[in-house]
Amino acid sequence: MNLTLFIWRQKSAGESGSMQQYEALDISPDMSFLEMLDVVNEGLIKKGMEPIAFDHDCREGICGTCSQVINGTAHGPQEKTTVCQLHMRNFKDGDSIYIEPWRAKAFPVIKDLVVDRSALDRLIQSGGYVSVSTGGVPDANAILIPKSELDRAMDAAECIGCGACVAACPNGSAMLFVSAKVAHLALLPQGRTEAARRVCAMTEEMMKQGFGNCSNHYECQAACPKGIKVSFIAKLNREFIKSLGKPSGSL
């Protein structure tokens, strides 16, 4: 396959960027999208040119770092797929492909396709964890949890924090990400003790980090590589309303 790539190049956060054209030649349809970029970078390095900077780590759809907008869609055209899991057989010989970084106020561009997603880390640090003492690690059967609640908690826990929901949202909202973290813990006994404080702290941190508001576009659900449902946003809203009836700082 021979492809024409239009890739966002930006030297640093303080400089302006632009789309630049590259040719990807003799690309195997069995390559992953990142492997295709590796081939392009090898060609650039041989020519003495600056390679394209992009994030990656596990290349197995687990870490969530391969954040790219491909032809206007976060993580590319295939549903429930990260960029590293996207294969070139999803494209045709002669195609033009446009590749950009996440576009959101809370995700400033560091270089080329690499953005600073540490705002998501700060959201987790604000309350996305369990700090109460739960004793030793008990047998899995020691705490009985209804299967329906357990299934929902595990569905929420699938979130890998890639930020595609933020990049896809016209408002740059992190509501799907936060709702997955809040719902995951609020549905389990170990997380309910701090549920009120958690939802208030994470909601406040969202505003501090510059994320936008949810206005029900559903683009977050469509872009999520793990299929996190917007129904968790409703759960987040319910948890927040419940927290208003509790004293400030209450556990």
Cβ(75)–Cβ(100) below 8 Å: no
Q: Return all residues near 179 (Cβ < 8 A) that are at least 6 apart.
A: 156, 232, 233, 235, 236
- pLDDT tens-digit readout, 217-233: 999 999 999 999 999 99
For the chain, where do the domains classified as CATH 3.10.20.30 start and end?
3-111
Cβ(249)–Cβ(193) below 8 Å: no
56 residue type, one letter: H
- pLDDT tens-digit readout, 164-191: 999 999 999 999 999 999 999 999 998 9
Token representation of residue 139:
């047998």
Q: What is the pLDDT of residue 107?
A: 97
What is the architecture, at CATH level 2, of domain 118-243?
Answer: Orthogonal Bundle (1.10)
Q: What percent of the chain has pLDDT over 90?
A: 90
Q: What is the pLDDT of residue 246?
A: 63
Q: Model's pTM, two decimal places?
A: 0.91
Query: Cα–Cα distance between 57 and 245 in angstroms, integer?
Result: 43
For the chain, where do the domains classified as CATH 1.10.1060.10 start and end?
118-243
Q: Does the pLDDT value for residue 249 go beyond 60?
A: no
Q: Does the pLDDT value for residue 250 go beyond 60?
A: no
Instruction: Name the band, by pLDDT with cuts 50, 70 and 90, for residue 146.
Output: very high
Instruction: Name the band, by pLDDT with cuts 50, 70 and 90, for residue 60.
Output: very high
- pLDDT tens-digit readout, 12-58: 999 999 999 999 999 999 999 999 999 999 999 999 999 999 999 99
CATH 3.10.20.30 for domain 3-111: yes
